[in-house]
Amino acid sequence: MHSETQGKGHKGGTMQTYAQYQPTGFDAKGLGLEDRQDWLVLPLIQTRDSGPLERSNFAVATGQLVTVDPDGETFETHRFGHWGPGWYEILLVAPNSRAAEVAEEIAASLENYPALNENHWSDLEWSEACESWERSSLRDRVELLQRAGQSIFAARRAEFPADPQGAILQRLSGC
């Protein structure tokens, strides 16, 4: 789910006002939030189906906004129900604010590289893969190891197995 110019988890380019924002081409622009029509939409979206990169970028951007506005007076997170992914979240910033300046920096950063913070993204992938490994049944672990071309004997271990090529990590983190 994304607007026409939005890429996977973000879009590059100039931010748009909420009045012009629409999650998909099938949705109305600026729906609801009548008192926020002139606020700017950060070029990020998070949905029920977001992967680690989208969730990481959303968290990092939120953290950057909190740093410049700890009271949240010039930025807001909004969650909406949606017919596609079930729900989605966006970040809005007040125009002509320090939060808007930070949002512009975030937008510019995303034009050049898809991750706002590689370490955060990597840590999130790793922790989610470890949690998934812990919850996996022995049968699922064996199947993962076989697909990755590794010894199935690691399936009985509680800790995440060595994964030099990243095949298991990739499957468990949904990358």
Domain holding 71, by residue range, is: 16-114
pLDDT digits (tens, 9 = 90+) for 118-156: 999 999 999 999 999 999 999 999 999 999 888 999 999
For residues 75 and 95, the answer to whether their CB atoms sit within 8 Å is: no
9, part of any domain? no
Same domain, 124 and 105: no
Considering the chain, what percentage of its residues have pLDDT values greater than 90? 67
Domain end, chosen from 93, 114, 135, is at 114
pLDDT digits (tens, 9 = 90+) for 78-95: 999 998 889 999 999 999
User: Which of 75 and 3 is assigned the larger pLDDT?
Assistant: 75
77, part of any domain? yes
136, part of any domain? yes
The pTM of the full predicted model, rounded to 2 decimals, is: 0.82
Same domain, 91 and 128: no
Same domain, 23 and 88: yes
Which pLDDT belongs to residue 1? Answer: 44
Of the listed ranges 31-40, 52-61, 68-77, the one predicted with least confidence: 31-40
Give me the number of domains the chain comprises: 2
Residue 9: is its pLDDT beyond 90? no
User: What is the b/e burial string over 11-35, where b = at least 16 CB atoms within 10 angstroms of the residue's CB?
Assistant: beeebbbbeebbbeeebeebeebee
Residue 161: is its pLDDT beyond 60? yes
Residue 50: is its pLDDT beyond 50? yes
Domain end, chosen from 92, 114, 136, is at 114
Same domain, 106 and 45: yes
